[in-house]
């Protein structure tokens, strides 16, 4: 039961980050996690330093590309990054963004223009699960256009992908631009924390009921 409690507490921390200023000249967000895996710790350190030195990253148009399978913490890291940067960042799950763009065609023209301007001009646009959205020519063209627009304005992107080949629906130019401006963060060897939670729940169920599941 103690193990389950610790894991659930860690999951809650993922949703409710406690962000304070750290030591040094730049604020360093101490994002707490029970995951002590060195591979995840490396990814965490990269994203924390990116957040702490965002003004420098922004000036040099440096973004991030988190790559790894489901459940290793990519979304958690990007949501913490968005939370820390506050109004400097705009976070979207890629599929949700496409839905909003599709809905925006029925909006007031000025409202839609304002929305599209925010996508192009926000200091940091965060796109989670890029490539996992429903693959259509329209989806690829819309997301590709946003990436092109930010590239021309020298506005950085932070993205997460499960596999690089999921971006095959995008034009080669778009993929090349992402590779140019985004620092790769490989999370392939990070543990799946959802598997840990699932195992802990099964152990707790067995401890309570005496039944194996």
For residues 130 and 161, the answer to whether their CB atoms sit within 8 Å is: yes
- The answer to whether 71 and 195 have CB atoms below 8 angstroms apart is yes
Spatial separation of the C-alpha atoms in residues 157 and 11, rounded to whole Å: 26
Quick one: 56 exposed, middle or buried, by C-beta within 10 A (0-12, 13-18, 19+)?
exposed
pLDDT of residue 82: 95
Are 183 and 63 spatial neighbours (Cβ–Cβ below 8 Å)?
A: yes
Q: Is residue 1 part of a domain?
A: no
Q: Note the pLDDT of residue 29.
A: 52
Residues of the domain holding 48: 36-190
On whether residue 210 sits in a domain, the answer given is no
Q: What is the pLDDT of residue 162?
A: 86
Q: What is the pLDDT of residue 18?
A: 35
Does residue 3 belong to any structural domain of this protein? no
- pLDDT for the residue 2: 41
* 79-97 per-position pLDDT tens digit: 999 999 999 999 999 999 9
Q: How many domains are contained in the chain?
A: 1
Q: What are the residues whose beta carbons fall under 8 Å from the beta carbon of 161, sequence distance 6 or more?
A: 65, 66, 67, 129, 130, 131, 132, 167
Write down the pTM of the prediction: 0.78
Residue 100 maps to which CATH number?
3.40.50.300
Residues of the chain below pLDDT 70: 1-36, 133-135, 164-171
């Amino acid at each position: 039961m103690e193990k389950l409690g610790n894991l659930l507490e860690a999951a809650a921390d993922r949703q409710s980050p406690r962000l304070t200023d750290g030591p040094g000249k730049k604020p360093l967000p101490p994002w707490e996690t029970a995951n002590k895996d060195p591979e995840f710790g490396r990814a965490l350190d990269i994203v924390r330093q990116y957040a702490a030195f965002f003004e420098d990253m922004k000036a040099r148009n440096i973004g991030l590309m988190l790559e790894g399978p489901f459940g290793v913490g990519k979304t958690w890291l990007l949501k913490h990054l968005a939370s820390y940067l506050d109004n400097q960042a705009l976070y979207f799950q890629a599929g949700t963004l496409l839905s909003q763009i599709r809905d925006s065609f029925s909006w007031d023209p000025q409202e839609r223009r304002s929305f599209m301007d925010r996508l192009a001009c926000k200091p940091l646009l965060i796109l989670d699960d890029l490539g996992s959205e429903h693959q259509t020519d329209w989806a690829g063209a819309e997301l590709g256009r946003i990436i092109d627009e930010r590239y021309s304005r020298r506005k950085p992107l932070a993205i997460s992908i499960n596999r690089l080949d999921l971006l095959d629906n995008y034009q080669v130019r778009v993929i090349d631009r992402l590779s140019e401006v985004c620092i790769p963060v490989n999370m392939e060897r990070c543990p799946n924390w959802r598997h840990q939670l699932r195992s802990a729940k099964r152990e707790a169920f067995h401890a309570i009921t005496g039944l194996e599941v």
